[in-house]
Each structure stands twice: as structure tokens, then as C-alpha cells.
Structure 1
């Protein structure tokens, strides 16, 4: 677990955005020109799943983890972030190669389990209630 604490999570968030942008450029290029060996629908699915899991969720989870951990990310949140990276890149690779098949669906399912665990960590320990103001907490639906 010590290895997780040495990862630079903000850099991963930026790197994930760069990877997402590259896939976006590839998609736009494929609308104009045929790219042998690449399936447009597969790349589109990979792009959309990675956009949500690898960039948006990862970045928001990182910000919430920093907020709730007072600057030092706890082991539970580090595990969430690392598993998110694994599932996101697994989805990116498997959706790009095969579309909706067993491997890509497995990585998608892993991501769903990760989000459930993340939610459990936040609400079971009342971490958000301790770190955000009352109106923000009401908007989250936990009042």
C-alpha cells in the first residue's frame, strides 16, 4: 500500500485528460478518413467510458478525497483512485479492441463496484458532513 502514496494523483488526472483528448482527435479524424484496423464504434465507446471513469470520476473523487482527508489522502481513497485507474485503462483498451464483450463489461462492472465503495466511504463515516457547509450537504441529498 505504500506504493499508492507515492503516486501523483493530480498528474494522473491531467494525463487522463490528455489521453481522452487524443481519443477525441482520433474520433474526429475517423469521421473524415478511413483508419484501417480501427472500428469507429469501438473507439467511441472507449472514449465515452474513459471520459466518465478515467477523467471526470477520477478528478472529482480526487478532489473529494483531498477535501475529506485534510490534504493527505487516506489508504481507502488511495485504493479507490488506483482501482479507478486500473478499471478506466482496462475499459479504454478493451472497448477500443473489442467493443462490448466480456472483458470490457468486466472492467465496467469493476468501476461500478468502485463507485459504490467510494460512496460508502463518504456517507458511512459522514466525511462529507464534517467537511462541507450545510447548504452543500443538503444539495447532496443527505440532510
Structure 2
């Protein structure tokens, strides 16, 4: 009987060892939005009016107007670098991403939360509010993936 128990224990040992593998080797699925993105276009609907679409760089404004955004996104962090019409890069703004919403650590009213609404291999679409003519206006901005 002792031999039978020893043989069963010896045969069960490989199964017991194999089933106790480490969970430290879990591979995280990369979020679709992770990467570096450059502004392409901006669209908005004027209340009681038409929908307007512009190339982001062609938006009107003074010399300090932003003509390009570059967003670097990871699973839960965001970095925003804006370039003015004069070609001056503004200091990078850091943020966090939670539930597809990018929230920047900034007191600048232009850095309102941005909601990721669509992502493809080549294009990222976000929606956020901007101040325009004394009113807050929701805009849709598309970004192209930077290679």
C-alpha cells in the first residue's frame, strides 16, 4: 500500500509544480490610443448654425494662437506639447488618462478635459470644450499618429 501511495504522489508531482506558475509574467494589452499624435483637423457646430471644419494649423488667432498639438499617450498618462503660430513650443503639460478621459494638470483654461471617442491605427479623435467668442464650444479634434 505504501508503494502505491508513493507512486501516485510521484506521478502527481509534475502536475502540482506546473500548476503553480508565477503571475508576474502577465502581458499587458497595449491601449489602442498609446503613441504620439499630431493634430490634423478641428470641427465644431455653431449653435443654430453650420458645422465648420478646419485644418488645425489654419485656425485663426494672434501670434500666440496654437497651431499644433502633439500628444504623447501611454496607458494612463498624457503629455501635451503645443506650438504657437510663431513656432514656439510651449512647456509640456502632463496629464492622466482614466476611462478614456484625458485630464491635464494645468490651470490654463485651454486645457479642458479631452474625451477619446475613436481610435484607429492612424487616427485619434477627441472631443473637448474651447472658449470661442465668449462661449464654451465643444470641438472635435483629429490627430494623426506620428511615426
TM range (shorter): under 0.3
Larger relative helix fraction: 1
TM normalised by structure 1 equals 0.27
TM normalised by structure 2 equals 0.26
Which of 1 and 2 has higher RCO (CA within 8 Å, sep 6+)? 1
Which structure would you say has the larger Rg?
2
